[in-house]
C-alpha cells in the first residue's frame, strides 16, 4: 500500500461512509460517477477513511484502478509534483493490475526506470504517456507539465478502457507550487477543474476543510461539479468503542464509565481520542477519574492538544503585534454561543476593521472560526475552547500554569456538581394563575416532574387524583375580583413526595380542616398527611405522600 492503514478490526464506526464511497466503483463502470469533496474537521478521520477505501478498491473489485495520492509539501515545485504524480500513478496502476504491492513501494524510481518498468510490463500506453511527459518537460511550460501529469489518469482510461478512481489527500497543498523559474504557480491547481469532470476518472478530494471550501467555492466554481460528503464526528457509543479499542491496543485498562465525559468533550473526533489514550498509556495501569482529568488538563495546557492548536495559531498569525489582540478576540468568542458581527469586535478591541478582517480571514483558513454570511463564531470544539482559555489565562492574565489547572479543574467540578445536584432532593416551584381549569396545569406539571424523578406511574396516578380532589375542594365557588396566583412547590425526596399549594384567598370552598375531609375521599386514601396553614394572603396546604421502595420505578 502507498501508506500504512489501520487493520480492518481497528477501523471503527465508519462502515456506512465506507460503503457509500466504495459504491463509486460500480458507478464508474456505468459512467455515472461524479467527483467528490470529502470535507470534515481536522482529525475527524478523512485520511483514514480514504486509506480504507483504497484498500477495498485495491483488493475487492476489478472495475476501476484506484490511485491514492497525498500531496506532499516537500514537493514545492511544479516539476517535482508532476513527476511524482505521474510516477506514482503508473506504479499504482501496474501494481493493481499485477496485484504486486511491492511496485507501489518502489519510491524514488527515476523516469528512465519507470519507462523501463512500463516496457517490461508491456504497458504501451504508459510508455507513450511517459514519453509524452518527457517531451512536455523540455518545453519548460509549467502549466503544460502540470496538466499533463494530472490528466494522466483520464489519459490512461482513453487508451486502456480501464476507469480510474483518483483519491487525493491534502489537496489544499496544490496551492503552494512554484514553477521552474521560481515564479509563483499558485493558480495551477485550478486546472484540476478540467480533469475532475470526467466520469471515467472521478476524483475524491480531501484535506483542510476550510481551505478547500475556499478553493472550490470562492476562488473557482469547481465545487459545483463536486458531490459533497461531510464527515461528522462519530457518535458517543462509537466513541466509547474507539476508546476501548485504543485502550486494548495500548494495553491499558480504564473503566468505561470514567471515559464517558471525555467521549463528550472530544465530540467524536478520533484524533483527540487516540492521542488522549496514547498519553494515558504513560500514566500507568489503574487510572482513577482524577488521573484522567489531570492528563486532560496537561494535554490542553502543555501537551499535544495544546501544541497542535498553538502551532496553528502561530503559523497563521505571523504578525506578532496582532497575536495578543487575536487571543483576546478568541477568548471573547469562547464565552459566546451566538455569532458576533465583525464590526462589533473591531470596536470592542480597538483595532481597525482592516486588521480585524486579516485576523478573521486567517482564523477562518485555520479552521478556528466559522464565518457565516455577516457574523462569525468559534468552531465548535471544546478542546480548542479550553486551549484558548488556558492560553489567555497564561499570557493575558499572567496566571501560572498550576493556577490555570486549578481553575479548569474547578470548572470541571462545577459541571460535575450540577450533576450531583439532581441527586439531592430537588425542588420545583411553579406559579399558576387562578383561572378555570388551573388544576390541569398543575396536574401536567406534577406528571412531568414526577416522571423526571422516576416516580412509578402508579404513584403518579395517585398523586394526580389527590391533587384534582384537592383543587375541587379549594377552588372558590365564585370568582373574586382579585384573581391572584396559586404557588405550588413539588418536593420529591427519597422516601416521600410533598406538594405544597398556596392559595391567593382565604375562604376555601369546602375544606376547613384536614379532619373535615371525609374518609371516603380519594385524597385521604392516597395522601398520608395533609396540613393546612393560614398565611398572610391565603392558605397553605401541604400534602405528603410516603413513597414505598417499590413505588420508585427502576428505569
Ligand atoms: N474510524 C476510525 N477508527 C479508528 N481510528 C481512526 C478512525 N478514524 C480516524 N482514526 C485515527 O484518528 C487519527 C486522525 O484521523 P485522520 O484520518 O488523520 O483525520 P483527518 O484526515 O480528518 O484529519 C488517525 O490516527 C487515524 O488513524
Ligand atoms: Mg488528513
pLDDT by residue for the chain (555 residues), tens digit each?
777 889 888 999 999 999 999 999 999 999 999 999 999 999 999 999 999 999 999 999 999 999 999 998 777 788 889 999 999 999 999 999 999 999 988 766 788 899 999 999 999 999 999 999 999 999 878 899 999 999 999 999 999 999 999 999 999 999 887 766 556 667 899 999 999 999 999 999 999 888 899 899 988 999 999 999 999 999 999 999 999 999 988 888 888 889 999 998 999 999 999 999 999 988 877 788 888 988 999 999 889 999 999 888 888 777 778 888 889 889 888 876 667 778 878 887 888 888 888 888 888 888 888 877 778 888 888 899 999 988 888 888 888 878 877 777 776 655 554 433 334 567 787 888 888 788 888 888 898 888 878 888 889 999 999 998 888 888 776 666 567 888 899 998 888 999 999 988 887 766 667 777 777 778 888 899 998 888 888 889 999 999 876 544 444
Q: Answer yes or no: are the C-beta atoms of 292 and 277 closer than 8 Å.
A: no
Q: Answer yes or no: are the C-beta atoms of 526 and 463 closer than 8 Å.
A: yes
**Ligand 1 and 14: CB distance under 6 A:** yes
Give the model's pLDDT for residue 250: 86
**Ligand 1 and 47: CB distance under 6 A:** yes
Give alpha helix (H) positions in 61-110: 78-98, 102-105
Of 10, 13, 43, the residue with max ligand 1 atoms within 8 A of its CB, to mutate for a pocket test, comes to 43
| Closest residue by Cα to residue 502 from 528, 524, 470 | 470
Q: What separation in Å is there between the alpha carbon of 127 and the centre of ligand 1?
A: 37
Give the model's pLDDT for residue 83: 92
* Alpha-carbon span 44 to 48, nearest angstrom: 9
Give the model's pLDDT for residue 518: 72
Its pTM stands at 0.73
Strand stretches in 332-472, DSSP E:
369-371, 376-378, 428-433
Q: What separation in Å is there between the alpha carbon of 268 and the centre of ligand 1?
A: 11
Give the model's pLDDT for residue 543: 93
**Ligand 1 and 268: CB distance under 6 A:** no
For the four alpha carbons of 460, 466, 471 and 477, in that order, the dihedral sign comes to positive
**Cα 15 to chain center, whole Å?**
18
* Alpha-carbon span 280 to 276, nearest angstrom: 6
Nearest CA owner, ligand 1 atom 16 = 45
Q: Answer yes or no: are the C-beta atoms of 474 and 516 closer than 8 Å.
A: no
**Ligand 1 and 191: CB distance under 6 A:** no
Nearest CA owner, ligand 1 atom 27 = 48
| Closest residue by Cα to residue 451 from 432, 428, 420 | 428
Give the model's pLDDT for residue 479: 63
Of 12, 48, 246, the residue with max ligand 1 atoms within 8 A of its CB, to mutate for a pocket test, comes to 48
Strand partners, 530: 543
Q: What is the dihedral angle through the alpha carbons of 268, 370, 74, 192, rounded to the nearest 10 degrees?
A: 100
**Ligand 1 and 51: CB distance under 6 A:** no
Q: What separation in Å is there between the alpha carbon of 99 and the centre of ligand 1?
A: 26
* Alpha-carbon span 536 to 530, nearest angstrom: 20
Ligand number, closest to the Cα atom of 49: 1
Q: What separation in Å is there between the alpha carbon of 270 and the centre of ligand 2?
A: 12
Of 271, 367, 379, 383, the residue with max ligand 1 atoms within 8 A of its CB, to mutate for a pocket test, comes to 271
Question: What is the length of the chain?
Answer: 555
Q: Tell which atom from ligand 1 comes closest to the C-alpha of 14.
A: 1
Q: What separation in Å is there between the alpha carbon of 44 and the centre of ligand 1?
A: 6
| Beta-sheet pairing, 428-433 with 485-492 | antiparallel
Q: Tell which atom from ligand 1 comes closest to the C-alpha of 10.
A: 4
**Ligand 1 and 13: CB distance under 6 A:** yes
Q: What separation in Å is there between the alpha carbon of 270 and the centre of ligand 1?
A: 5
**Ligand 1 and 242: CB distance under 6 A:** yes
Dihedral pair phi/psi, residue 181, rounded to 5°: -105, 35
H or E segment to which residue 543 belongs: strand 539-546
Ligand number, closest to the Cα atom of 207: 2
Long-range contact set of residues 515-523: C-beta below 8 Å, sequence gap at least 24: 517/473, 521/469, 522/465, 522/466, 522/469, 523/465, 523/466, 523/469, 523/470, 523/473
Nearest CA owner, ligand 1 atom 23 = 43
Query: Helix or strand or coil: residue 122?
Result: coil
H or E segment to which residue 487 belongs: strand 485-492
Give the model's pLDDT for residue 25: 95
Q: Answer yes or no: are the C-beta atoms of 311 and 285 closer than 8 Å.
A: no
Q: What separation in Å is there between the alpha carbon of 171 and the centre of ligand 1?
A: 17
Q: Answer yes or no: are the C-beta atoms of 364 and 210 closer than 8 Å.
A: yes
Of 7, 17, 46, 270, the residue with max ligand 1 atoms within 8 A of its CB, to mutate for a pocket test, comes to 270
Give the model's pLDDT for residue 545: 93
**Ligand 1 and 175: CB distance under 6 A:** no
C-alpha cell at position 418:
450540577
Give the model's pLDDT for residue 435: 80
| Helix orientation angle between 78-98 and 124-138, rounded to the nearest 10 degrees | 180
Q: Answer yes or no: are the C-beta atoms of 449 and 422 closer than 8 Å.
A: no
Q: Tell which atom from ligand 1 comes closest to the C-alpha of 270.
A: 12
Q: What separation in Å is there between the alpha carbon of 312 and the centre of ligand 2?
A: 15
**Ligand 1 and 40: CB distance under 6 A:** yes
Amino acid at each position: 500500500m502507498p501508506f500504512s492503514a489501520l487493520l480492518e478490526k481497528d477501523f471503527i464506526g465508519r462502515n456506512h461512509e465506507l460503503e457509500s464511497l466504495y459504491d463509486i466503483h460500480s458507478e464508474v463502470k456505468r459512467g455515472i460517477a461524479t467527483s467528490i469533496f470529502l470535507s470534515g474537521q481536522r482529525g475527524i478521520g478523512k485520511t483514514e477513511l480514504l486509506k480504507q477505501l483504497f484498500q477495498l478498491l485495491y483488493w475487492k473489485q476489478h472495475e476501476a484502478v484506484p490511485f491514492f495520492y497525498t500531496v506532499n509539501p516537500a514537493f514545492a515545485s511544479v516539476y517535482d509534483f508532476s513527476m511524482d504524480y505521474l510516477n506514482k500513478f503508473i506504479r499504482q496502476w501496474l501494481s493493481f493490475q499485477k496485484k504486486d504491492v511491492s511496485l507501489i513501494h518502489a519510491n524514488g524510481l527515476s523516469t528512465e526506470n519507470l519507462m523501463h518498468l512500463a516496457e517490461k510490463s508491456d504497458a504501451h500506453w504508459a510508455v507513450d504517456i511517459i514519453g509524452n511527459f518527457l517531451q512536455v518537460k523540455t518545453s519548460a511550460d509549467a502549466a503544460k507539465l502540470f496538466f499533463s501529469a494530472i490528466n494522466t489518469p483520464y489519459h490512461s482510461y482513453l487508451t486502456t478502457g480501464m476507469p480510474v478512481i483518483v483519491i487525493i489527500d491534502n489537496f489544499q497543498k496544490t496551492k503552494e507550487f512554484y514553477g521552474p523559474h521560481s515564479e509563483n504557480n499558485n493558480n495551477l491547481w485550478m486546472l484540476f477543474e478540467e480533469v475532475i469532470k470526467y466520469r471515467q476518472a472521478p476524483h475524491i478530494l480531501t484535506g483542510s476543510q476550510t481551505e478547500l471550501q475556499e478553493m472550490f467555492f470562492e476562488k473557482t466554481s469547481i465545487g459545483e461539479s463536486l458531490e459533497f460528503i461531510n464527515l461528522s464526528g462519530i457518535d458517543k457509543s462509537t466513541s466509547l468503542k474507539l476508546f476501548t479499542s485504543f485502550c486494548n491496543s495500548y494495553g491499558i485498562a480504564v473503566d468505561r464509565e470514567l471515559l464517558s465525559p471525555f467521549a463528550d468533550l472530544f465530540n467524536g473526533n478520533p484524533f483527540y481520542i487516540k492521542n488522549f489514550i496514547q498519553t494515558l498509556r504513560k500514566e500507568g495501569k489503574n487510572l482513577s477519574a482524577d488521573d484522567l482529568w489531570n492528563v486532560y488538563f496537561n494535554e490542553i495546557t502543555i501537551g499535544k492538544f495544546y501544541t497542535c492548536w498553538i502551532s496553528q495559531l502561530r503559523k497563521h498569525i505571523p504578525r506578532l503585534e496582532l497575536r495578543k489582540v487575536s487571543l483576546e478576540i478568541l477568548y471573547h468568542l469562547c464565552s459566546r454561543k451566538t455569532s458576533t458581527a465583525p464590526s462589533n469586535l473591531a470596536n470592542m478591541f480597538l483595532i481597525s476593521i482592516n486588521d480585524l478582517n486579516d485576523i478573521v480571514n486567517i482564523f477562518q483558513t485555520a479552521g478556528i472560526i466559522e464565518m457565516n454570511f455577516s457574523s462569525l463564531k468559534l468552531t465548535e470544539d471544546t478542546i480548542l475552547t479550553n486551549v484558548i482559555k488556558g492560553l489567555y489565562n497564561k499570557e493575558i492574565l499572567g496566571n501560572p500554569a498550576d493556577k490555570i489547572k486549578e481553575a479548569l479543574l474547578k470548572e470541571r467540578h462545577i459541571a460535575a456538581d450540577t450533576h450531583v445536584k439532581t441527586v439531592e432532593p430537588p425542588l420545583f416551584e411553579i406559579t399558576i394563575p387562578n383561572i378555570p381549569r388551573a388544576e390541569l396545569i398543575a396536574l401536567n406539571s406534577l406528571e412531568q416532574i414526577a416522571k423526571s424523578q422516576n416516580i412509578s406511574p402508579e404513584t403518579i396516578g395517585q398523586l394526580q387524583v389527590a391533587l384534582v380532589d384537592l383543587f375541587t375542594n379549594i377552588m372558590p365557588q365564585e370568582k373574586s375580583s382579585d384573581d391572584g396566583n396559586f404557588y405550588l412547590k413539588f418536593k420529591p425526596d427519597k422516601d416521600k413526595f410533598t406538594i405544597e399549594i398556596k392559595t391567593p384567598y382565604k375562604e376555601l370552598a369546602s375544606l376547613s380542616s384536614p379532619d373535615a375531609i371525609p374518609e371516603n375521599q380519594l385524597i385521604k386514601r392516597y395522601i398520608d398527611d395533609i396540613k393546612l396553614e393560614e398565611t398572610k394572603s391565603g392558605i397553605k396546604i401541604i400534602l405528603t405522600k410516603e413513597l414505598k421502595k417499590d413505588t420508585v420505578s427502576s428505569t
